[in-house]
Amino acid sequence: TRVVEGGGSLLVLLGPRSVVAATADHLSTWLKSLSGIEVAGRMDGEGARIEVDAALGEIGESLAATVPFVPLSGPTLTGFAELVIDRRPTDQQPELGPTRVLARTLPGARPLVLERRRASGRIAAVALPCTLGNPASDWSDLAAWPVFVPIVDGLLERMLDGGTATANRMPRQARHL
CA–CA separation, 98 vs 83, rounded Å? 15
Say if strands 96-106 and 37-53 run parallel, antiparallel, or are unpaired: antiparallel
**Strand ranges in the chain using DSSP code E only, listed in sequence order:** 9-13, 37-53, 69-85, 96-106, 111-118, 121-126
- Give residue 175's pLDDT: 38
Of 42, 63, 59, which is closest to residue 137 (Cα–Cα)? 42
Average pLDDT of the chain?
76
95-154 pLDDT, tens digit per residue, is 888 888 999 999 989 999 999 989 889 999 998 766 666 655 666 777 778 888 888 888
Q: Whose CA is closest to 145, among 67, 77, 62?
A: 77
* 3-30: pLDDT as tens digits: 888 888 998 888 766 666 556 688 888 8
Strand partners, 37: 85
Determine the pLDDT at residue 17.
Answer: 67
Q: Within its chain, how far is the Cα of 28 from the centroid? A: 16
Q: What percent of the chain is predicted at pLDDT more than 90?
A: 12
DSSP assignment string, 28-78: HHHHHHHHSEEEEEEEEEEEEEEEEEGGGTTS-HHHHTT-SEEEEEEEEEE
- Band (169; pLDDT cuts 50, 70, 90): very low
Residue 44 has pLDDT above 80, yes or no: yes
Separation between Cα atoms, residue 70 and residue 60, nearest integer Å = 12
- Closest by CA to 69, choosing from 118, 124, 126, 112, is 112
Cβ–Cβ under 8 Å, residues 39 and 82 = yes
Q: How far apart are CA 119 and CA 95, in angstroms?
A: 5
